Amino acid sequence: MEVFRISSEAYARTLSSSGSANRWNAKGQYVLYAGSSRSLSTLELVVHKGAVKPVVPYKVMVISIADDDYLTKQIHLKDLPANWRSLAAYAVLQTIGSEWYSARESLVLKVPSAVIPLEYNYMINTEHPEFPHKVRLVRTEDYFWDERLL
């Protein structure tokens, strides 16, 4: 499968993670977040950055993940607390993601997007033993900001 990550040009050349805490992982857990489409990845970036600086060049990273079913675990909406999209639920979601990460249960965790809940984001565990063999950066594409988004 192909997934998409939008990154500043400075960080778009390699598949690496900062280990920063986010909705589905705790600090020190090295995961890459990617979206199921370029458009979802754009919305996620706008939401998370709060403000986008179009003077910084961005790239779309096209990432290929092997299609083997055992590599992906999915979190279903029905299994999440009612308030899962709120900031108040971060601790619960970080626990879910942290347990998945620590257990190395799968290479990828497929999670609903808080921006568009019927679409999905993919967390890729860069420390999983399958990562070097099953994930690759296919290419980077130039990215431009439509001024109506800013």
Give dist(CA 86, CA 84) in Å, integer: 6
Confidence band for 53, pLDDT divided at 50, 70 and 90: low
pLDDT in tens, 54-99: 678 899 999 999 999 999 999 999 999 999 999 999 999 999 999 9
Residue 27: what residue type? K
Q: For 93, how many CA atoms within 13 A lie in the half-sphere containing its CB? A: 26
Residue 42 makes CB contacts below 8 A (sequence gap 6+) with 6, 149
pLDDT in tens, 67-79: 999 999 999 999 9
What is the DSSP code string of 121-140? Answer: EEEEETTSTTHHHHEEEEEE
pLDDT > 80? residue 112: yes
In 3D space, the residue among 35, 9, 12 whose CA is nearest the CA of residue 137 turns out to be 12
Give dist(CA 109, CA 107) in Å, integer: 7
